[in-house]
Amino acid sequence: MPSLLKQDPRYFYKGTGSKKSRILYALASSVMCEGDNKHWQPNYSNVIGSFAGAGMQALYLPANDHRGSGFVVSTALIRLGETSIAGVLQEFVFLKLMSNRPRRSASQP
C-alpha cells in the first residue's frame, strides 16, 4: 500500500521537544505520515492495511465465530493502537537500548 499511495510509513524519531509533544507525535504516527512529496498527510496505507488485514483475518474464522463487521472494525482499531504504542516505544525506549545511538558531546546541554 505505501508504494501505491506514495507514502513513507517509517517512524521518524523526533527526539526534541517536551515529553507531551513527543508522545502526541508518536501516537499520531499511526494515522499521519510523510508522503513522497515531503508533506504530512493521512496515513492511508496504515489505515487501509489495518482494515484489510482484519478483513482477511475474519475470512479464516469458522462460521460459528463470525461476529459481523464489528469484529473487523475492532480488530483494525486494535492494530492502529498497536502501531501508536510502537511509535511511543520507538521514541522513548528503543533509542536507549541501541548500542550505536548518537552521543551528546560535553558542550551540548
Domain ranges of the chain: 2-97
Question: In terms of C-beta density within 10 A (0-12 exposed, 13-18 middle, 19 or more buried), how is residue 84 classed?
Answer: middle
Q: What is the pLDDT of residue 33?
A: 84
Assess whether pLDDT exceeds 60 at residue 105. Answer: no
47-to-75, 79, 92 alpha-carbon distances in Å: 12, 9, 24
Q: What is the pLDDT of residue 58?
A: 86
Amino acid at 57: Q
Q: Is residue 42 a contact partner of residue 54, using CB atoms and an 8 Å limit?
A: no
Q: What is the per-residue pLDDT across 27-52, written as a single tens digit (0 to 9) for each?
A: 988 888 888 888 888 988 889 989 99
Total Cβ atoms within 10 A of residue 27 = 17
Q: What is the pLDDT of residue 61?
A: 81
> What is the chain's length?
109
Q: What is the per-residue pLDDT across 10-30, written as a single tens digit (0 to 9) for each?
A: 777 887 888 899 999 889 888
Assess whether pLDDT exceeds 60 at residue 106. Answer: no
What pTM was computed for the model? 0.74
* Alpha-carbon span 25 to 93, nearest angstrom: 15
How large a percentage of the chain has pLDDT more than 90? 15
